[in-house]
Amino acid sequence: MTAAEKVLEVLKTRLGDIENEMAAMLDIERARVTLLCYCNIPLSADVPPGLFEAWCIAAEQQLTGAADGVSSISEGDVSINFGNPARSYLGQNETDWKIIANRFRQTAI
Strands (E) in 1-109, as ranges, are: 70-74, 79-82
Q: How many CB atoms within 10 Å of residue 11?
A: 21
Domain range for 31: 3-108
pTM of the predicted structure, to 2 decimals: 0.71
Classified as helix, coil or strand, 88 is strand
Higher pLDDT, 49 or 64: 49
Report how many domains make up the chain.
1
Q: What is the pLDDT of residue 84?
A: 47
List residues bridging with 74 in a β-sheet. Answer: 79
Distance CA 55, CA 48 (A): 10
Residues 1-29: pLDDT tens digits? 899 999 999 999 998 888 899 999 999 99
Q: Quick: pLDDT tens for 50-107.
A: 999 999 999 998 888 765 555 556 666 666 555 544 444 444 455 588 888 888 888 8
